[in-house]
Chains A and B, each alone.
Chain A
Amino acid sequence: MSALRWGRGAAGLGWALWPVGRPGLRAEEGTLGGLRGCRRRSSASPCEQDRRRDWGHAELLEVLEARVRQLQTNSVSEVRAKLVDVARLPKADGSQSPRKVEAGNEGAALGFTSHWAQKLHKEKLVMQRRKQKLEETLQKENRKHQLRVEPQLLNRELADWLQRWEHGSPRSPWEEQLAQLLQEAPKQLSRSEEHGHTGRISKVRYEAQQQRLLSFLECCLLVDQLPLAHHVLVKHHSKLRQQRALTLPMYNTLLLGWARKGSFRELLYVFFMMKDAGLAPDLLSYAAALQCMGRLNQEASAIQRFLKQMAQDGLQLQELFTNLPLCKEDKAVLLRAVRKAEPTFLPPQPPLSSSKVNSSPLLKEIYSTDKPATYPKQHLPLETLKDLFQQQLSVEMATVVTVESVETAPSLTKEVLQARKTLQELRTRWEEELCLALQQTKDREAQAARKGRPSLFPYLCLLSEGELTQLMLQALQVLPQQGESLLSLAQELGMRIFNRHVVQRKQLSDEVQALQERYFKYLHLLASDTQVVMSRLPREHWEALGTSEASQDQPWPLALVVQLGKQLAEVLVQTVKMPSNLAQPQDTQKLIPVLYHVYSFQSFRQIGILKPHPAFVQLLETAAERTMTFEAAEVPMLCPPLPWTSPHSGAFLLSPTKLMRSLEGTIQHQRLLEGCPPAELHGALDALTQLGNCAWRVNGRVLDLVLTIFNAKGCPRLGVPSPASEAPRPSKQRLPANASPELKTELRRELARCLKVAREMHSLRTDALYRLSLAHHLRHHVFWLPHNMDFRGRTYPCPPHFNHLGSDLARALLEFAEGRPLGPHGLNWLKIHLVNLTGLKKRESLQARLAFADEIMNDILDSADQPMTGRRWWAEADEPWQALACCMEIARAVRAPSPAAYVSHFPVHQDGSCNGLQHYAALGRDSVGAASVNLMPSDVPQDVYSSVAAQVEVFRRQDAERGVQVAKVLEGFISRKVVKQTVMTVVYGVTRYGGRLQIEKRLRELSDFPQEFVWQASHYLVRQVFNSLQEMFSSTRAIQRWLTESARLIARSGLAVEWITPLGIPIIQPYHHDSKVSIGGGIQSLTFCSSGDTSQKPNTLKQKNGFPPNFIHSLDSSHMMLTALHCYRKGLTFVSVHDCFWTHAADVAIMNQVCREQFIRLHSQPILHDLSTFLVERYCSGPRSTNAQVVKLQEMLLSVPKTGTFDLDQVKHSTYFFS
């Protein structure tokens, strides 16, 4: 019995002395998945763990006391030696110690002494001293010697060689060894034929593992954990199975790391391992070795020999400087080494990327150098812009922006103050506890890495614990009341870590300094008071100012991001606790968790959700804190964005931004963009740069009015959301005790309905709060909205909360920072714009709209002067806030001494009328269709919806005459409104099913329509709408069918549909069958589906249904970009919301002209034939071309639909094309 206890005690001691991880605990976690694991660990509060740590010691004393009792009954003679034995035990491996202890103790139990008390006291002292000593040495020892340096080679011969070199005396110089190694290196990879037998899924998993390991090694390098990386590599290398997964880049990563440190011994080890694995060193390996030589200042002869070897392997010296993604410092060292051997060597100059010119015929004018253009400048002087840059830089360095809330501050009652204080205290405590918990997590992960697993350890080291803690507390702060799915929370946390890490790295390197210098030079092009010699586009100028270094930050694989985020979320759940009753003093109470991990059941899936304790939500509400925190990249920029120069450099100064936004985890877009020649992207890059260069300011008067309403309970009709407290409440009446179940069910429904409404209101309110607070924050600033595009080329501003893409309210808050005099026609355009915003005179000519505006001038002025107290004419408009802003602008203009000289900041919009159908009609040269979407000149605007309704009515009458009952019932009910939504969405691929639902909705809204016929009638109508469209847009439908069919066949052949827009942007549809990635362990295993995984088969349905609308979107985005670029050349301010183009009132006429010209230019291209050629080339060439399926596809692709007779040039004179 006592022997057993000894064993346990000593094991505990060993465990307590273990410096970092606790292997026993770790193993336990491994087996506990899900819920139980979580709760177990959450119960291990810090103090408890401290206790556990001391447990070993306590146990020891207990044992000693037990011995006292034992010795009292017997006479003990000699124990000392045995006890010394015991004391030494912890040195041994934890798992072995019990056995040894037992042996030792048995001996101890045999001998007895009469002076037991004295001896025991002595023993105790000795023990304590020894224990202290041991603790110290063990900690040191463990740190140093845990990591393996010497590789274990599988090739016996090689291993002997290594052995000889290791122990040979004197050691031969390492460079000789290296030369020898290189000479005998295998000349090719001998690994390619492996894992051919494994299935597709396991191959995907295998690749994911490889990717994981590689990024682990790379990350270790970043956080200066090279020995650890080496250790993991050695571990993997020493096992044949694992060794197979190792790739050359992994070895190279380590080579580079050791080279930078100048550690030749380890470098050589890696070379040994490479050779052992049968991998031939490539350019990067040579570069690393050379760099190491450079750092160690090797003799010239050694380097010369080395270079000779390199030449023998067929590698060019020049390539070292051109083909490798090395940083500046690496290159410098490399050059030094090479120069030593060849003093005359000159590194080749990188080619200027701007030297190649875009070849698209559509962009010829933009990039021709014949007629130098004068591009518009920013309206600010150089010094101001430099200042603004500094501001933006400091914002991005800080990574977060704190913004004051615009909600009325609560009166500072005792209650509020108390809540704030409590919250503050809690946060302070949480910060400490989280730091501690993170430290423990890190230790655990480090331990895992020591066992050879590519764990999360290096990633957790990227940011300091303090920063991670801040991230977690931020996430906690904004967690909605109903909770958030663990998956999305994890993903967000993971992404934030990545973004911050990128920013931090840029700060640490000297990039920021270089950026600033370059940006200041660049500003000479933009500033109002400076001139540059050559007129260039911003991107051209930026590129001329230096070469950009290749971005070294590859995004992490999604699985890693989620895993990292999940780890943090777990720490958060387990660590953050609050007293069970906040009102009482905190010290005495039991602590309860703040976050709960619960499951939600949706359809047949279970979704893990993190949910805050309602009391915590209440506390936050009561405290009503006045600040909110945004990531730097969520806020508009304070200086002109960096011009886009490549798929991943542009927009924000430091925060990484992608040129093409996509779902997290889809990489095909990025790959495609990187693969295409840089010059092909110039059109898109310049258009996006230009859209981002538009300076904005907040319309202060409108903001003030909105804020008044916002803080006075909102007004949903005007788009100002009310606070959730205004939500309908369930009726208060109490249920009678014997209420019928029916009544109860009704009550339940009502409760649910109220809850739902309240929740929707809350989210709308929060959205508005963000927007308004940001607007308020930026009120007296000039700011910029950097843009990027989606995978079809449609452009969007990057800052999500506050931009010009939102609702009426969001748009009304913004105006151009730069003003322009209205000029002779500007005022008229303002008036027409106002009438457009009211939605009142859609079917009337421009003259009539203008006349109407003059007619109601009184109302306009009244609205402008007394928006809230007057007749409130503006509030009845379709777009009330924009209308109000426009009224104010008109009032100011007409009251100016000379309206033509009035400087206006107001953006005037021109909308395409059913833009999708316009593109279809132009593609198919449909005369009837073209006329109905205003491609043809006409006195009054045509309305396609009315035309379709009229056509449907014709069909209906015919059917009614034939006695079809539904047709009779529908008499008098077919209107523009009933068909509008369906017609609009037909372009974007709405199906009959969806169309029927839309019409059903409309019919239900008609009060006098006999509701029992809704089902039948909607069925009938959707058919007639489709027939009418077929009648009016015959070629359009043919094109749609052709696109759909082609996409179907392409997808069936196992490939995703790709094409290139007329502007040269490569596009690929990211629709594949879902691939599932699971991340097990921890509180819950997460599975996420990604439809963008290219290793999966394409999803035929989505590919085929998506192609027509996506293709049309790629055309409308091309049209927009062309218009943008040409407007820019003409000196206009131009921004867009897809098919709605904005400019100053004075410039509307010019923009309209450009817009029409470019539409004609675009559609004069043989777009469909180009598409057909491209698709045939892409999908029907090569070895596959004889396949029957491919032949069928080719036939389909070649049968480009015939077009009609519409004359495109007529667009030029169509007033209502965009109006």
Chain B
Amino acid sequence: MWAPMAGLSPRLALPAFAGATRLCLWRSGAAAAAAARWKGVPARSRRSLSGFPPKLAPREGLRDLPPGVPRSRLESKRYVLSPSLAETVARLLLRDDGCDLILEINPGPGILTRALLQSGARVIALESDKAFIPHLESLGKELGGKLHVLHTDFFKLDPRSFGVIKPVVNSKLLFQELGIETLSWSNGIPLKVVGIFPTKNEKKMIWKVLHDIYSCTSIYRYGRVQLNLFFNELESQRMMANPQNPNLYYALSVLWQVAYDVKLLHVEPWSSFDISSQSVQQEKPQSKESSEQQVQQNLCLIQLTPHKDLFSQQLTSVNYDVFFHMTKQCFLKRHGKLIDHLTSLSPIDAMDILKEMDQDKNIKIIDMYPSDFKCLFETIECSKDHTFKWLYDDFMEDVII
């Protein structure tokens, strides 16, 4: 399952990991556990995770912290704080694929921003915390104006519920202002997004992103926007799961993989983002539980490139919610047989569908690859002689984002 790693060219990967490890503060207890969990990862990429002596955290990362930002505020959020990680990310991002426009989410102290700019990218920084804005703006000036700073929360762009609570930024207006051009779906990548996926409301946010891409709205209106986001370890493992690691295989895995080409670019221990471990005076003893949780969490940089052929004659932005519903319902009973689920999904005879799909009648949900789900959906959509293809109904879905 961790095959995507292999796709990373050694030329890029090696220096990247070397860079990361130089700075990595490693808590010894966690090392073994983490190594065990990453068994499937090729040794090359695991090097960043184990076998390094604990080092004191470098102070340089925090030098750039603007004076006005209260420390407590930092603690609830995560930022890329180590310059070398920033360098790695910048290098991973700015490969030669013709897109140097990068939208950075919540750059905070601007360490990654600096690295990106220095590597020659054009950067749009969307910062949700007002306190960082002046600092980022000065950074832009210092580095020659290829930075555009805006005070906006990326994850609140284009809310899907229409009961508007706060004034929000409309991506249409925003992109217009930024002069971002629309590329058609089959064309290249108009924009790369980089940032850390929020832990707060994580599930909600995931669903929002998925709805956005399948419905081709929000940022995806402008083409196949590539996401490069740090997710926590568990979530990223789930994202990439398939029948080979059934324990992590979920409805979301299917939806992610059908929509995107999911690649693991890099694994970085939590400590690289951890304010308290980066600063010397560690005053507040955190509750045992939370610090332990943090130790266990590596962050994984996942690259999500939308598939060119995501939309087909059958799966469109008009009926994608049926696909969502189908997948979710199937995974309600992951170990159940597909044939049993089909009776709750479609009034069409289950055997006919299976025959059409050329699948064994005993196939279980857990044995089906993401592409099989897409195939299933398309098979049912295709069936000609039925007026009612689905039992699904609009009211059965309630979008909460």
Contacts and interface: CB of A to CB of B under 8 A. Distances in A.
B317 A39 contact: no
B397 A597 contact: no
B236 to A, nearest CB: 21
A34 B185 CA distance: 41
B337 interface: yes
Q: Which 7 A-B pairs have the closest CB atoms?
A: A741-B216, A600-B396, A602-B398, A744-B317, A748-B318, A614-B388, A741-B317
Given A39-B343, A604-B400, A745-B217, 13 more contacts: A34-B332, A36-B333, A482-B393, A596-B344, A596-B347, A599-B328, A601-B398, A602-B398, A615-B388, A742-B216, A745-B216, A748-B215, A1015-B167
A712 interface: no
A424 to B, nearest CB: 23
A398 interface: no
A92 B333 CA distance: 39
A603 B401 CA distance: 9
Given A36-B336, A741-B216, A744-B216, A482 B395 contact: yes
Contact of A35 (B216, B344, B392): B344
Given A36-B336, A606-B332, A597 B394 contact: no
Interface string A744-755: 110110011001
Interface in B311-343: 311, 316-319, 325, 328-329, 332-333, 336-337, 340-341, 343
B317 to A, nearest CB: 5
Interface string A588-606: 0010110011111111101
24 contacts: A34-B332, A34-B333, A35-B333, A483-B393, A590-B349, A600-B397, A601-B396, A602-B398, A611-B391, A613-B388, A615-B388, A741-B216, A741-B220, A741-B221, A741-B311, A741-B316, A742-B216, A744-B317, A745-B317, A745-B318, A748-B319, A751-B318, A756-B394, A759-B395
A598 B396 contact: yes
A603 B392 CA distance: 17
Contacts of B340: 35-36, 39
Contacts of B317: 741, 744-745, 748
A483 B340 CA distance: 20
A609 interface: yes
Contact of A598 (B311, B316, B329): B329
A602 B207 CA distance: 13
Contact of B343 (A593, A745, A748, A1015): A593
B337 to A, nearest CB: 7
Interface of B: 166-167, 185, 203, 215-217, 220-221, 311, 316-319, 325, 328-329, 332-333, 336-337, 340-341, 343-345, 347, 349, 387-388, 391-398, 400
B318 A1015 contact: no
B64 to A, nearest CB: 34
A34 B396 CA distance: 19
Contacts of A1012: 167
Nearest to B341: A35
B396 A36 contact: no
Contacts of A759: 395
A604 B252 CA distance: 13
A596 B325 CA distance: 15
Contacts of B328: 599, 601, 606
Query: For this complex, into which size category does the number of interface residues on chain A fall?
Result: 35 or more
Contacts of B216: 741-742, 744-745
Interface in A568-625: 580, 590, 592-593, 596-604, 606, 609, 611, 613-615
Contact of B221 (A614, A742, A748): A742
Nearest to B221: A742
A601 B394 CA distance: 11
Contacts of B318: 744-745, 747-748, 751
Interface in A34-61: 34-36, 39
A745 B319 CA distance: 9
A427 B290 CA distance: 61
Nearest to A752: B394
A744 B317 CA distance: 6
Nearest to A596: B391
Nearest to B320: A748
B310 to A, nearest CB: 10
Contacts of A747: 318
A613 B391 CA distance: 8
A1015 B347 CA distance: 47
B398 A35 contact: no
B106 to A, nearest CB: 23
Contacts of A596: 343-344, 347, 391
A806 B348 CA distance: 43
Contacts of A34: 332-333, 336
A89 to B, nearest CB: 35
Contacts of A593: 343
Contacts of B400: 603-604
Nearest to A748: B318
A745 B395 contact: no
Contact of B344 (A592, A597, A601, A755): A597
A597 B387 CA distance: 19
A84 B283 CA distance: 88
Given A744-B317, A745-B217, A598 B345 contact: yes
Contacts of A603: 398, 400
A615 B386 CA distance: 11
B397 A601 contact: yes
B230 to A, nearest CB: 24
Contacts of B344: 35, 596-599
A745 B396 contact: no
A36 B388 contact: no
A590 B349 CA distance: 10
Given A596-B391, A601-B325, A36 B337 contact: yes
A1015 B341 CA distance: 47
B395 A1015 contact: no
A592 B347 contact: yes
Contact of A755 (B167, B221, B345, B394): B394
Nearest to A612: B391
Contacts of A598: 329, 344-345, 391-392, 396
Contact of A611 (B167, B185, B333, B393): B393
Contacts of A1015: 166-167
A482 B317 CA distance: 23
Contacts of A602: 396-398
A307 to B, nearest CB: 63
A745 B394 contact: no
Contacts of B203: 604
Interface string A166-180: 000000000000000
A679 B147 CA distance: 80
Nearest to A742: B221
A596 B391 CA distance: 8
Nearest to A37: B340
A1015 B164 CA distance: 10
B316 A744 contact: yes
Contacts of A752: 394
Nearest to A483: B393
A755 B220 CA distance: 26
A34 B333 CA distance: 8
A614 B340 CA distance: 20
A603 B400 CA distance: 6
Contacts of A756: 394-395
B345 to A, nearest CB: 7
A897 to B, nearest CB: 59
A1012 B394 CA distance: 33
Contacts of B397: 600-602
A599 B398 CA distance: 12
A35 B343 CA distance: 9
A432 to B, nearest CB: 24
Nearest to B388: A614
A329 to B, nearest CB: 52
A997 B3 CA distance: 50
A741 B185 contact: yes
